[in-house]
Structure formats: C-alpha cells, structure tokens
C-alpha cells in the first residue's frame, strides 16, 4: 500500500468550485479522504506539511504538436509525454501535423502504437486531419477517422476554401465530434510576421492586419449560423475577434473558443525586448514569432477580459517544438511557434494570478475542465472514493531556471530559455 497525507494543502477544483485549505489522503493513487483535518490514516503513511502547495485537478491541453513521426529531432512521443507530465498536464490532445499526417486510420494507429511504449503517460487524444495532407483541398474520410478513435478534427491551419469548409460542416454535423478551426485570411496576411500596428512600423517588420483573422472568423461564424455544426475557434488573438465571438455566443451559435497562453502574457512590445515581470527578452527573438502573431497591447488585454467573462472558454498551450538550427535564424525567417508545456502554468500563475488579473480558480478552470469540455470530456471532482486521482501538485513559489538540463522537451525554443521563473509542478497523477 502506498499512502501519502498532504496536510493543509490548497485545493483547486473547478468541478466542485472549490478553493480551500484541507488535508488530503491519497492511497494507491486514489483519493481516500478530503477533510479539514485528517487524524486517522495507515501507519506507514508518508506525511507532508503542504503549506504553500497546491493540489489541483489535472491540466488538459487542447492542442499541441508532436515531432514524431517524421521530425524526431524536434520532439519524440517520449519527450512530449515527459514535458506534459512535468508541466502538470494529465490529458493532452495532439494535432495531426506529423509526417505523414494523421489523415487516415493507419496514421492514427501509428501514433497510438508509439504512445503505448511509454508508461505511465497522460491520457492522449488525437485530432484527425480535416483535409488530406493538411493541404486544404480535399476532405479526409471523416467517417472512417471518427470510427477509429480521433477526438475530433483539426488541420491546425486555416481553411481558405469556404466552399470546402461548408461541406466539412455539413458532413460532420451527424458525427458528433469536435471541429477546431483556425481563422486567417492568407491573402490579407501576406508576408507579415508580426501584428500590424505602431510596433511593427517602429521595428521595421511587415505586419499582419487584424482583419486577416477577423474576416476569416466572420466567415466561419456565418457558416456555423447557417449550418448549425458546433465549432471550436482556435488561437484567438485579437480584440475584435473576442467581440465577434461575444456577439455570436449571445445569439446562441454553437461555438467555443480558445487563445494560447503566450498571447495572454505577451504582446508586440516583447519583440522589442520588453517583458513586464521578468528580465527583458532579446530584441527580435525568433522564439517570439508565432502563428497567429502576438497581438498589440489592446489585443492582449481584451483576451484577458475574454477569459474573465467566459467568452474565451479555454487556454491552449500549442506546444510547437523546433530544433536549435531551425529557430536560430533571423526573426523574419524563423518558423512560427514555441514550446510551453513545462512553463505555461508557472508563468500564467505569476503573471495573472499573483497580479490579481485572474483568480486562481478561474486560471485552473481554463486549463483543466473547460478544455476538457471542448474535447467532449467531463472531469471528475477531487473527492474521496474516486476510482483514481487525476491531479497535479504545484509549488507556486519554487524557483528554477529554464535550460537544457531542466527541460524534458527535446527542443528549447522558448524566449524564457536561461531565465529563472517562479512556480514548478512537483508531480502529476493520471487516471487509467
């Protein structure tokens, strides 16, 4: 019997809307008791004074990227699993942009078999591709993929062909699987590499106008309104997008939406080497080139308000690994994306909870129960007598340095590399 007692630990459980201090007894990875004070427990129980620690519901990531198969130098399934575990994520959804992509049942089976080699692991969900080869030209066999176990459908890229998107929405309506869409008009975006505005002009970088996202989003909302297929809007990054989603939800459209963790923390000023609560970044750091690009200050503030108001349902990590050689280039030439599974929770906590921008429970909700609901999954509460404990143990005041030795991810493409951050996940426990 493996027994552990956490004395006076802070419990964050969005399912039961709980934020309180209590004792928690865990026996063989099962929650045996949650009480104000526990005085009876097995004789060989490990007792931990947990003042200052947080026991929260396991985190859930809506969408991230695996290097394997095809790009093992960036990330393997093993290193992805280790990074998710180190970051407190007990459930992880992987986008289909591997090589070959997950656009048929064989591709899905390949990924599932790779993940079976590693234990224990988070519960892994797989997005199936919407279009063959992620090319945006021809639909995959959606019914076959749905029958073989994908959690839903997402290319991770914007579909430019609205006629095709209309057919996808019509075909998916009876399948009862989530559909996640990015919104970007590639013609309007042009060759832009950062959000258009004062900072893009000052820094001399071509800008991506807000309308590149919002015009594509408006078209998607029109199609959803007409057809009625539920849709999840990925990677929301502008204030105007938040407003469009707010209006659409008020009209009863069946949509959910998410932004990414970096868009909540950073804006275009970061590209100039500025960062409010930590040491400055390097100017033109290629790890800050993202898709969609970081917004202007007004965009970032609107995203935070969208989280507070429930207009944005979830925060995704969108963990995107690249090798050192791929990212160590000029900002303009860098591929888009950064890693984040291991550092997202500590940085969100320090920048949003400690500054009282968000409550602790609200942050935990958009990182756990809400993304799970977007995947069609319901998490259980932190209560006694569950079949297993799906929890994360977090030390919000523990300081550590982000570097090659401390990261589990194979890649290190993050602007926080070689910086000290406050907050670290100690352990995660998964359900079967």
**If residue 392 lies in a helix (H) or strand (E), which one and from where to where?**
strand 391-401
Measured at the CA of 421, the angle between CA 57 and CA 395, to 5 degrees, comes to 35
The residue annotated as part of the active site, out of 61, 267, 299, 318, is 318
Q: H helices within 253-352, ranges in order?
A: 261-265, 297-309, 324-327, 344-348
DSSP conformation class of 346: H
Buried/exposed code over 145-169 (b: 16+ C-beta within 10 A; e: otherwise): bbebebbbbbbbbbbeeeebbeebb
299 catalytically annotated: no
| C-alpha 221, offset from chain centre | 23
Buried/exposed code over 111-123 (b: 16+ C-beta within 10 A; e: otherwise): beebbeebeebbb
Distances (CA, A) of 312 to 8, 258, 327, 337: 33, 5, 30, 21
Measured CA to CA, the distance from residue 305 to residue 89 in angstroms comes to 24
- Candidates 309, 397, 389; CA nearest to 56 is 389
* Location of structure tokens 């300081």: 399
Instruction: Give the residue numbers annotated as catalytic, written as ranges.
Output: 318
């Amino acid at each position: 019997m493996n027994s552990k007692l956490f004395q006076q630990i802070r419990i964050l459980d969005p399912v039961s809307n709980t934020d309180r201090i209590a004792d928690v007894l865990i026996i063989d990875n099962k929650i045996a008791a949650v009480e104000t004070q526990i005085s009876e427990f097995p004789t060989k129980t490990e007792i931990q004074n947990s003042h200052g620690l947080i026991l929260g519901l396991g985190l859930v990531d809506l969408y991230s990227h695996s290097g394997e198969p095809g790009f093992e130098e960036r990330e393997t399934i093993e290193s992805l699993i280790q990074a998710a575990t180190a970051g407190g994520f007990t459930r992880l959804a992987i986008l289909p942009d591997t090589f070959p992509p997950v656009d048929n049942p064989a591709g899905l089976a390949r990924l599932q078999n790779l993940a079976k080699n590693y234990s224990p692991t988070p519960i892994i969900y797989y997005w199936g591709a919407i279009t063959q080869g992620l090319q945006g030209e021809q639909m995959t066999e959606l019914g076959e993929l749905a029958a073989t176990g994908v959690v839903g459908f997402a290319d991770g890229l914007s579909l430019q062909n609205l006629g095709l998107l209309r057919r996808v929405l019509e075909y998916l309506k009876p399948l009862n699987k989530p559909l996640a869409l990015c919104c970007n008009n590639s013609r309007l975006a042009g060759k832009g590499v950062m959000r258009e505005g004062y900072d893009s002009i000052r820094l001399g970088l071509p800008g991506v106008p807000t309308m590149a996202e919002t015009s594509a989003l408006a078209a998607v909302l029109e199609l959803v309104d007409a057809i009625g297929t539920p849709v999840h809007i990925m990677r929301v990054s502008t204030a105007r997008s938040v407003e469009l989603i707010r209006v659409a939800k008020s009209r009863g459209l069946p949509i959910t939406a998410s932004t990414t963790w970096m868009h909540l923390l950073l804006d275009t000023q970061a590209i100039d080497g500025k960062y409010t609560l930590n040491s400055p970044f390097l100017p033109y750091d290629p790890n800050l080139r993202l898709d969609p690009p970081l917004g202007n200050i007004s965009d970032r503030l609107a995203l935070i308000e969208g989280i507070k108001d429930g207009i944005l349902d979830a925060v995704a990590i969108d963990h995107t690994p690249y090798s050192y050689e791929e990212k160590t280039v000029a900002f303009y030439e860098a591929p888009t994306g950064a890693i984040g599974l291991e550092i997202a929770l500590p940085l969100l906590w320090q920048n949003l909870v400690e500054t009282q921008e968000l409550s602790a429970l609200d942050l935990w909700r958009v990182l756990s129960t809400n993304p799970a609901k977007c995947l069609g999954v319901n998490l259980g509460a932190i209560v006694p007598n569950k079949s297993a404990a799906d929890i994360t143990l977090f030390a919000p005041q523990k300081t550590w340095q982000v570097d090659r030795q401390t990261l589990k991810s194979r890649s290190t493409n993050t602007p926080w590399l070689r910086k000290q951050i406050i907050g670290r996940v100690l352990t995660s426990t998964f359900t079967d």
